[in-house]
Amino acid sequence: MKVVVDLGICQGYGNCVTAAPDFFDLDDSGQVLLLRATAETAEEQAAVQGAIPVCPMNAIRIED
């Protein structure tokens, strides 16, 4: 499963970092950094899927 972040709408709330710290971080300016673009295991996929609804800007999506 491929993880995609729309940097154009991300506002740097950081909820994704809390939900899936192995996949997301914030840079010094508060912009999200995608640390890993692929979630392979069921646990990784669950973590990313948990980050999607907590993003208030809906900036995270999954592509097959």
Residue in the structure block whose two tokens are 């979630």 = 39
CATH at residue 43: 3.30.70.20
* pTM for this prediction: 0.92
Q: If pLDDT is split at 50, 70 and 90, which confidence band does 64 have?
A: confident
- Let me know if residue 63 belongs to a domain: no
Instruction: Tell whether 25 is covered by a domain.
Output: yes
| 44 within domain boundaries | yes
With pLDDT > 70 as the criterion, what percentage of the chain qualifies? Answer: 100
Q: Which domain holds residue 30?
A: 2-58
Beta-bridge partner residues of 49:
none
Provide the CB-side half-sphere exposure for 22 (13 A, CA).
12
Q: Count structural domains, the chain.
A: 1
- In-domain check, residue 49: yes
